[in-house]
Chain A
């Protein structure tokens, strides 16, 4: 419409889009997680980057040991009270924009460790964007959470300043309560047959047959 049509006719090699869409697309396509393996969930987090699960398909395979080079902090495992100030400090060292995935029952709510030594949920320390249930979650669930986070990133705007304290309380998405996408892309790319979300592994197929 209007200006877009004029530009499209005059300069056919130029594409126009919203700046938010372009920047969010760039951000979501290369999420660099900060390594924060705390317990057994970290094994599943490592497994998500292997050749079998291949988190690199979604641009989130570059795990960084330095928080200054990371976008996403995947808190995988139970957070002890002694680790809590360390975790907060690493979160503060990450540059904006930054997101947090709380992986597993322990990071989300303390899990079975309802005692003095474990923080009852990492959201008491840092704002969490996506929670993953499970003990531990499968790598597919972590990939699902990354995809949900990508969907959340696409809804943001560069005008939303996130590095102010009031903006810290962000809206969290619990898996299963919201669809991963709004469905428009899925309808466009709809295949005639329905595909399962994960391909059953060999022993699962053997058990079912």
Chain B
């Protein structure tokens, strides 16, 4: 391994510079690390940014690979983040969008109208982290049982749950 992975590669990608020129309000922060590009998007612009990136001729991000939540810990501020991993099957490049959220207000606009696969990914993020996606057509739990208390992947959720399970 002669090639070293740089964590502080500041060379802006042409994609980001073009995006910055057209919609500078969408990019509150751009992070280059390990050859990947991450854009932190303000919460109110996430649906507009996603629908633009999907049909943008230079982007063509027609494939939503993943939506996942992350809990940085209850002592962090902002505490939660929602990551959108985009991929283009025609241009063959990737982009990560990120929305950061405070603990008190975990509402994000839903992108299920942009990519239909976001429906289940957002349900999973709601299930595990309690992030509420406004405008989602059917925001129910998807992996945990319907009568579950709490959100299992939050850092303050106990590993063994709140009480031992028994039907008796």
A: which residues have CB within 8 A of B?
81-82, 84-85, 88, 114-117, 119-120, 124-125
Contacts and interface: CB of A to CB of B under 8 A. Distances in A.
B70 to A, nearest CB: 19
A81 B164 CA distance: 10
Contacts of B168: 124
A74 to B, nearest CB: 19
Given A81-B145, A82-B144, A116 B167 contact: no
Nearest to B150: A116
Contact of A81 (B157, B158, B159, B165): B165
A117 B152 contact: yes
Given A84-B167, A116-B159, A120-B164, 4 more contacts: A115-B159, A115-B160, A124-B164, A124-B168
A116 B145 contact: no
27 contacts: A81-B144, A81-B145, A81-B165, A82-B143, A82-B144, A82-B145, A84-B165, A84-B167, A85-B167, A88-B167, A114-B159, A115-B159, A115-B160, A115-B161, A116-B157, A116-B158, A116-B159, A116-B160, A116-B161, A117-B152, A119-B165, A120-B164, A120-B165, A124-B164, A124-B165, A124-B168, A125-B166
Contacts, number: 32
Nearest to A127: B168
Given A81-B145, A82-B144, A82-B145, A116 B166 contact: no
A114 B161 CA distance: 10
B152 A124 contact: no
Contacts of A124: 164-168
B58 to A, nearest CB: 43
B74 to A, nearest CB: 18
Contacts of A120: 164-165
Contact of B167 (A114, A117, A125): A125
A38 to B, nearest CB: 15
A146 B168 CA distance: 26
Nearest to B163: A116
Question: Shortest 7 CB-CB distances between A and B: which pairs?
Answer: A116-B161, A124-B166, A82-B145, A125-B167, A119-B165, A81-B165, A115-B159
Contacts of A81: 144-145, 165
